[in-house]
Every structure is written in structure tokens, then in C-alpha cells.
Structure 1
Amino acid sequence: MLDTIQRFFQQALSEPEGSDRSEPTLERATAALLCEVVRADYHTDEAELDALRQMLQRHFSLSDAEVEELMAMAREEVETSVDHYQFVSLIKQHYDYAQRCELVRMMWALAHADGESHHLEEHRIRRLADLLHVSHSDFIRAKLQVQGEAD
């Protein structure tokens, strides 16, 4: 009996739960943060999802099927994650400052894709920009740029 319990814990420690899922890739981390903006106002609009598809397709040069798979994985990652650390740290490791600013601009474009901008979306983008170490002035610059494009 003791051997059985010991084997159980050895297996549990060597193969942690969820080990069938690989670590997030840069693409999944980026998509997950963008999904956070889409779901920030607790209403997923088709215009936002279409904008997200187009962004991911352009940004990563993916096919339609690859984009759908990436979006599904990103949504699952967001739903099961406790925090944004794994996504943010991966992005900070691989994106330079200009790329992180572009990601914040993409977040703003998603927030405006449905023709509305909510305080919840702005709050989420501000929080993510802070975690990505994007300055407040660049956060505002991205916001104004997207608003100017929308007008």
C-alpha cells in the first residue's frame, strides 16, 4: 500500500496535471492578451472577433484554419490561467519595446472594433500595458492613434 501511494506521488510530481499542454508559445501568449481585451467588457462582439482574426492573420502570417486554432487555444489559456504572468513574461522576453507598443495599439484597435469603447476595456489595456512595461505616454499615444484612425 505504501509503495502504491509513493508511486502515485512520484508520477504526479514527474508528470504534473496539464502536462499534455505545452508551454504557451509567443503566438498563443500574444493571442491570449488580445483575447483578454475582447472579453474585458463581458460581451464578445462578432466585430471584435473578426478584428482579432485579421490581426492574428496579419501579425503571424497564418492561414484561416491556423488562426481559428490559435484563437481557440488562446481562449482556453485565458479561461484556465490564474494570472497573466506567463504570457507577459514570454512577450517581454521576445518583443522589444516597439513591438510591445504595437501590441498595445492592437489592443486599442480591438477595443474600438465594435464601435464602442468601455471603461472596462481601457482598464484592462492599461493594466496589460503596465505589465508589459509600456510607458503611459506610449499607452496614450496608441489610444489616440487608434481613435484618429476610427474617425
Structure 2
Amino acid sequence: MLDAIQQFFTRTLAPQDDANRALTLELATAALLCEVVRADYQTEPQELDTLRDMLQSRFSLNRAAVDELMELAAAEADQAVDHFQFVRLVNEHYDYVDKVELVELMWRLAYADEQLDALEEHRIRKLADLLFVRHSDFIRTKLRVQEGRGGAQT
């Protein structure tokens, strides 16, 4: 599986210095976002579209590359025993602002299907804690996403 991931990034992004770290970090980020999509055991088309748009925008990839990244990230998340390997990479290489931005992306995914499931909120809370994002920023990002959607939703 890791060979397939490395080949994907080698083909897609033409690695430069620190490429392995950056590519692995992108996969870790995508895998954490996939965890939010899968948290409620129901994957809605709106969630997949939102995830696709996020990855396309964040990593400047074309549609085919994003689809392949999503497939690889989902497979990697399926095989992972826990989130530690992904969280560790993010903690090692993202600064605090990047981690808060990642939590906000998680909230956007959770609300993509117009409703927040308790399992999604629990997953985001757990991941935010593991990323050492302060509770105040966890709440602030949630409120910012809610306000962007036009009101307070549960």
C-alpha cells in the first residue's frame, strides 16, 4: 500500500526537496479528513464532493489525482489501527495555525450533508485533542463554520 501511495505522489506532484515528508503529510491530512467523512458510518455524496474540493484546493491537484488520493487515503485509514500515525505526522510538521485550519476543514466536512452527527462531532473533538488544538479554537472553528452556513446548527 505504501508503495502505491509513493508512486502516486511521484507521478502526480514531481517531488522536490523534502518531498517524502510533504507527500506523506498530505496523505495523512487526507486520511484524517476521510476519518471525519466515515465517522457516522454514512458517506453522503455531498461529503465526498466537499472532501474532493478541499483536497483539490489545498494541494492544487487535478480531479483525477484527487480521486486517486481519496482512494489511497481511505484505504490507508481502513488499514490503520488508530489515528496515531496520521496525527503524529501532522503534529510534527504543521504549526498551530495549520492544525486549527485542519480542524475547521473537519467541521466543514461534518456539515457538508447539512447535519452534524454526534459521531462526527466526537471524532473531530478526539482528533482536535490529539492535534493539541485548544478547546476554545475547537469551538471557534465550529461556530465559524456554522455562521458561514447561515446559522447555528447542532
Structure 2 length-normalised TM = 0.83
User: 2:122 maps to what in 1?
Assistant: 123
Alignment partners' CA distance in 2, 1:64 and 1:55: 11
User: 1:146 maps to what in 2?
Assistant: 145
Query: Is 1:50 aligned to residue 49 of structure 2?
Result: yes
User: 2:89 maps to what in 1?
Assistant: 90
Alignment partners' CA distance in 2, 1:123 and 1:94: 24
> What secondary structure is seen at the aligned counterpart in 1 of 2:39?
coil
User: 1:37 maps to what in 2?
Assistant: 36
Alignment partners' CA distance in 1, 2:133 and 2:61: 27
Deviation at 1:100, TM superposition (A): 0.2
Change (3 A) 1:62 1:118: same
| Corresponding letter in the other structure for 2:139 | I
| Corresponding letter in the other structure for 2:86 | F
Gaps of 5+ in 2: 7-19
Deviation at 1:94, TM superposition (A): 1.0
Q: Summarize deviations over 1:82-121 as a string: whole Å, max 9, x none.
A: 0111100101111100000000000000000000111110
- Whose radius of gyration is greater, 1 or 2? 1
Structure 1 length-normalised TM = 0.85
User: 2:69 maps to what in 1?
Assistant: 70
Identical amino acids, percent of aligned pairs = 60
Alignment partners' CA distance in 1, 2:94 and 2:68: 23
| Corresponding letter in the other structure for 2:95 | D
Change (3 A) 1:29 1:141: same
| Corresponding letter in the other structure for 1:42 | Y
| Corresponding letter in the other structure for 1:140 | I
Q: Across the two proteins, how many residue pairs are aligned to each other?
A: 134
